[in-house]
Amino acid sequence: MTMIADVLLAAGALGAALYCYVLSRRLRRFTDLEKGVGGAVAVLSVQVDELTDILTKAQSAAKESVTQLDAVSARAEVAHKKLELSIAAMHDVPQPAEQSVAESPFFVRRAAEAEAK
């Protein structure tokens, strides 16, 4: 009876050793830096770093654009106020009397008409 228990104990130990060996090989392949999940994690880590840099640059560019747009908007508001004031001032200016076409300095007279005058 003791001998059977020893044989079963040895068989169990060999089975556990074989199981550990197979598990070790699978874990080694799983964490392999070129083909396994370790490689995927390494690639993703590099991509996250690159995306972080790109995002930082995009944020700084957006802040710069906002600053420029604020400056342009402020200039536009000042110009709008000046134009509004100029248009309001133009309502007070009297309208000039309309000239006839013949009195215009750009009117071209024919030679016969010029002699008649």
User: How far is Cα of residue 53 from the mean position of the Cα atoms in its chain?
Assistant: 13
Q: Cβ distance 36 to 30 under 8 Å?
A: yes
Does residue 15 sit within a domain?
yes
List the pLDDT tens digit at each of the 117 positions of the chain.
Answer: 889 999 999 999 999 999 999 999 988 887 776 777 777 788 889 999 999 999 999 999 999 999 999 999 999 999 999 999 888 887 776 666 666 666 666 666 666 555 655
The pLDDT assigned to 28 comes to: 83
Does residue 52 sit within a domain?
yes
**Cβ density class 32-55: b for 16+ within 10 Å, e for less:** eeeeeeeeeeeeeeeeeeeeeeee
The number of domains in the chain is 1
Residues of the domain holding 49: 10-90
Does residue 64 sit within a domain?
yes
Does residue 96 sit within a domain?
no
Does residue 3 sit within a domain?
no
Does residue 114 sit within a domain?
no
